[in-house]
Amino acid sequence: MKNKFAERARLVKSSETREILKVTERPEVISFAGGLPAPELFPVENLKIACNAVLDEEGAASLQYGTTEGYIPLREAISHRMKGIGINSTIENVLITSGSQQAIDLTGRLFINEGDTIICESPTYLAAINAFKSYDAKFVEVVMDDDGMVIEELEKKLNNHPDTKFIYTIPDFQNPTGRTLKLERRKRMIELANQYDVLIVEDNPYEAVRFAGEELPPVKHFDTENRVIYISTFSKIFTPGLRLGWICADESFIEKYVAFKQTADLHTDSLAQRITAKYMEIYDMEEHIKKIKAVYKTKCTDMMRSIEEFFPKNLSYSKPEGGLFIWVELPEGIDSAHIFTECLKNNVACVPGTPFFPNGTQKNTLRLNYSNMSNEKIIEG
């Protein structure tokens, strides 16, 4: 049989991290590789109650097809949450997606023409790289320091790439670096987006998981021309398995997203949406998030202490104030793929940093996740 795949099948391959994760599923492995939340924090018992309440009260309606935009009480709860962090929104600005990963993919479908330039942090989130690559985007990377994307460099790149479609940024506790974009840079990013007429895709799944330092308004808070598309998720504050994310954006964008989502999956899981809305009605989500933050704070502290104690001194690492990841920069010339292989021989897993650079540079970096393992295993690992 001749090759039947479309041209775009060439553009994406299964993510290297996913392949690594398969290896790390062995129970004896202490894994710092994935981005899995702590399972002990999933509110199983309260979810049983919320689930029963939905089925008792709403019965068949909860199992029926729903609207593409999403379940209204959940959109209301999200809109309320958006206002709480300084984003002006009504339910007309909110679309529920099947995880925020779907929001990223739909963004690619909706905005990227073949060869369009996307400007992103260097490094950035692997599954966004792969999603945008599948629409044949070109990536222009902007270096980061401890305060996130270096804004002078962003300006230079915007100048050099007038075909840029959007800036993709993860401002809070970025995946993979754990770094946060500082306040002045958020404001400046908006000014530059206005000046160069580009969109900003603000992917902010970790925003609510701040366990140290001062809260910062999202980039969209400063948006004066409705050019920021804000994407977030219940995965890190509730459960990833329910696959609930959202987009908060200008109504004219949401209308188009709805049309595209219709062709992808008609709508997000009705039951999952209703259970989550019911949970938020019965219980205090903010209290639940507080528990997550307290646990992640101790895990992150234990990992940083262990790095200080056990790692060689000639490397640097990020000191996150939230989120799930620490980024380690090894001395020049060391290939982290080698470290990965050696660690695995000792049943410890981490992720080499190379795949997080869209254009494949920098081999001397590692991403470490601290949310999933117990404190004892973090120290042992």
Q: Tell me the closest approach of the beta carbon of residue 349 to ligand PMP, in angstroms.
A: 16
- How far apart are the C-alpha atoms of 221 and 232, rounded to whole Å? 14
Of the candidates 16, 35, 26, the residue with the CA atom closest to the CA atom of residue 371 = 35
Q: Which of 17, 31, 35, 348 binds ligand PMP (CB under 6 A)?
A: 35
By CB under 6 A, residue 245 contacts ligand PMP: yes
- Is 98 within 8 Å of 235 (Cβ atoms)? no
- Give the CB-nearest residue to ligand PMP: 99
Contact partners, residue 132, CB within 8 Å, separation at least 6? 104, 108, 112, 118, 139, 168
| 178 is an interface residue for ligand PMP by CB under 6 A | no
Q: How far is the CB of 301 from ligand PMP (least distance, A)?
A: 21
Nearer to ligand PMP, 87 or 351 (CB): 351
Binding to ligand PMP by residue 34, rule CB under 6 A?
Answer: no
Question: Rounded CA gap, 56 and 240, in Å?
Answer: 24
Structure-token pair, residue 250: 């200008």
Paired strand residues for 119: 140, 167
Q: Smaller CB distance to ligand PMP: residue 123 or 205?
A: 205
170 scored as a contact of ligand PMP (CB under 6 A): yes
Rounded Cα distance between 234 and 20, Å, is 25
Q: Within 13 A of 255's CA, how many CA atoms are on the CB side?
A: 3
Instruction: Give the number of C-alpha atoms closer than 13 A to the C-alpha of residue 302, restricted to the C-beta side.
Output: 21
Stretch that binds ligand PMP, among 24-32, 43-51, 99-107, 342-350 (CB under 6 A): 99-107
In sequence order, what are the beta bridge partners of 366? 328, 352
What secondary structure letter does DSSP report for 157? H
From the CB of 59, what's the least distance to ligand PMP, in Å?
28
Give all strands of the β-sheet with 148-149 in edge-to-edge order: 94-98, 244-248, 228-233, 199-203, 164-169, 117-122, 138-145, 148-149
| Residue indicated by tokens 């409705």 | 226
Nearest approach in angstroms of CB 84 to ligand PMP is 19
Question: Does 99 contact ligand PMP by CB under 6 A?
Answer: yes
CB–CB of 171/181 below 8 Å?
yes
Name which position in 24, 31, 100, 107 contacts ligand PMP (CB under 6 A): 100
Per CB under 6 A, contacts with ligand PMP among 184-213 are 203, 205
C-beta of 6: minimal distance to ligand PMP in Å?
Answer: 24
Is residue 233 involved in binding ligand PMP (CB under 6 A)?
A: yes
The DSSP output letter for 322 is B
| Residue 70 found at the interface with ligand PMP (CB under 6 A) | no
The site for ligand PMP, by CB under 6 A, has a size of: 13
The CB-of-310 to ligand PMP minimum distance in angstroms stands at 27
Indicate the residue among 162 and 241 with the shorter CB distance to ligand PMP.
241
Query: Does 62 engage in binding with ligand PMP (CB under 6 A)?
Result: no
Can you give the binding site for ligand PMP, defined by CB under 6 A?
Answer: 35, 99-101, 125, 170, 175, 203, 205, 233, 235, 240, 245
